Amino acid sequence: MFTGIVTDVGEVLEVKHRAEGLSRLTIGCTFDPETIAIGASIACSGPCLTVVDRGMKGNQAWFAVDAAAETLAVTTVGRWKKGTRVNLERSLKIGDELGGHLVTGHVDGIAEIIGREDLTDMARIALRAPHALARFIAPKGSVTLDGVSLTVNAVEGDTFSVLVIPHTLQVTTFSALKKRDGVNLEVDLMARYAARLTAMP
């Protein structure tokens, strides 16, 4: 479980495509590798991925994760290559501050950026959600985009917008986002359950 509050921006150091649609990604970070347990969960620009190795190479800390076929199919992970920057968040511990909203790290699909308006130190980003997910997105509700917890400003059909504050632009990959980029979308967990309950007879 996560909160959508990014604590580091990592960089993909290596991608190895393995048998049966499995990819192993090595990601550089500033986390102390001695504090990362093998089997730990780290949200990498949204998807919750399991650490299978970690260490130091010179002064560079790194950890490795495996991405299976399902993850590669429904997220942007399959597009990552050496040099791709990713938002990182380690899983919650009991007693941690819940600064964003409850995030599972189970990405629902890819939203496309259809517009960006840069304001003074801020950015308004408009996106198109996959049609099947649009009903879970509501004004003033929460969404997770590339692992970042954001508040929805406006919704119209399959499109919605978010306002990204200066701090978020500085500590995430959002400063580089542009029109036609795809971002990992996780809808709010409570919205998903509410929709399921209202659909039941």
Which residues partner with 89 through β-bridges? 43
Tell me the residue range of the domain where 134 lies: 109-199
Active-site position among 3, 23, 41, 161: 41
pLDDT in tens, 18-60: 877 889 999 999 999 999 999 999 999 999 999 999 999 999 9
pLDDT exceeds 90 at position 78 = yes
Residue 36 belongs to some domain of the structure: yes
pLDDT in tens, 123-166: 999 999 999 999 999 999 999 999 999 999 999 999 999 999 99
Residues 68 and 14 in one domain: yes
Residue 97 belongs to some domain of the structure: no
Residue 102 belongs to some domain of the structure: no
Residues 59 and 125 in one domain: no
Q: Please say if 68 is a catalytic residue.
A: yes
Q: Is 56 exposed, middle or buried (0-12, 13-18, 19+ CB in 10 A)?
A: exposed
Residues 35 and 64 in one domain: yes
**Listed residues 90, 118, 135: the one ending a domain:** 90
**Listed residues 34, 59, 90: the one ending a domain:** 90
The whole-angstrom separation of Cα 122 and Cα 201 is 44
Angle in degrees, CA 88, 164, 132, rounded to 5: 80
Residues 127 and 188 in one domain: yes
The number of domains in the chain is 2
Residues 141 and 70 in one domain: no
Q: Please say if 29 is a catalytic residue.
A: no
Residue 3 belongs to some domain of the structure: no
| Confidence tier at 189 by pLDDT (50, 70, 90) | confident
Task: List the structure tokens of 53.
Answer: 């190795």
Active-site position among 50, 69, 154, 194: 50
Residues 173 and 114 in one domain: yes
**Listed residues 90, 121, 152: the one ending a domain:** 90
Residues 85 and 114 in one domain: no
For residue 145, what is the domain's CATH number? 2.40.30.20
| Closest CA relative to residue 174, chosen from 143, 141, 146, 151 | 146
Q: Please say if 151 is a catalytic residue.
A: yes
DSSP-assigned letters across all residues of 11-23: EEEEEEE-GGG-E
Q: Please say if 7 is a catalytic residue.
A: no
Active-site position among 17, 30, 35, 68: 68
Q: Please say if 50 is a catalytic residue.
A: yes
Residue 100 belongs to some domain of the structure: no
